[in-house]
Amino acid sequence: MAFNLHGHFFGSMPALVTPFAGESVDYETLDALVEWQIESGSAGIVPCGTTGESPTLSLDEHHDVVRRVVTQVAGRIPVIAGAGSNDTATGRAHIREAADAGADAVLVITPYYNRPDQAGIYAHFSAIAEASDLPVILYNVPGRTVSDVLPDTVAKLATIPNIVAIKDASGDVTRVTQAMASCPDDFTVLSGADELTLPMMLLGARGAISVTANVAPHLCADMMIACRDARWAEARALHDRLYPLHMAMFASPSPAPVKYAMKRLGRLPADGVRLPMVDCDADARRAIDAALAHAGLA
């Protein structure tokens, strides 16, 4: 499938979990998750992001997961491969592997731990874009990375032809308006914070890379369609139904809550996460159970 975010993309995409069987990636379950997402109306799939536990996947596992997802999707919807690193050279290597696997675009996080200034962030993403034959989506989540792509830097990066979008998890919905005012018309803002997706869509975002879509893909997809069609009352009702689930997905460090919820729904045979992540505690499980019930899922 040809993939071009410029004006041709809108919808809900899961930041897909990586299922494990003991110490190994469970590829059969991964295949089943991909099929469920497509059947549920998801507009794309994002393997090997934060929710996919990319920090604790080996390089071989990272690249194998991307290849397996691309193979299973078989061109039916776009695959946006996580390709971020705090090392620019490693990010470029991830991009080469993603392109070779047949991914449609790459999602690249701001460098974490190093804490580059805006000049360093611009240089990092410029080098990434130069090395990429695929569309590049910036990923800004300063709460995790302690590295914030400020609006002026986003505007400069958006002039690079293959930097086509940003997944914004800054928590500042006004960033949507700022991007729309300062970036090219075909630059896309995607929500990276489920609880803020509705207001971001109202301000002009075009979709979401979602944690909750792992658990409730059809509801998340339906909300995106309601937004697209300007059926805002329906979108609000779906948001209200999903809101406790959005918040419960971070009742413990992610992705333990989403994996627990998916196991409860029979979508994962095991909810194990890799250290240093640990399973949900009892309080988190109660919050997730209540949110699943509120959403009508369990």
Active site residues: 139, 167
Q: Is the dihedral of CA 55, 97, 141, 219 positive or negative?
A: negative
Query: Hey, how many other C-beta atoms are within 10 angstroms of the C-beta on 295?
Result: 22
Q: Which amino acid is at 155?
A: A
Query: Hey, how many other C-beta atoms are within 10 angstroms of the C-beta on 63?
Result: 20
State the residue for tokens 């804490």: 115
**What is d(CA 27, CA 69) in angstroms, rounded to the nearest whole number?**
9
- Cβ density class 133-172: b for 16+ within 10 Å, e for less: ebbbbbbbbbeebebbbebebbbbbbeeeebbbbbbbbee
DSSP single-letter state for residue 165:
E
Peptide bond into 255 cis (omega under 30): yes
- Long-range contacts made by residues 150-153, C-beta under 8 angstroms, separation at least 24? 150/118, 151/175, 151/178, 151/179, 151/182, 152/118, 152/182, 153/118, 153/121, 153/122
Phi, psi (degrees; rounded to nearest 5) at 85: -165, 160
**What is d(CA 165, CA 187) in angstroms, rounded to the nearest whole number?**
5
Helix (H) or strand (E) holding 217: helix 217-228
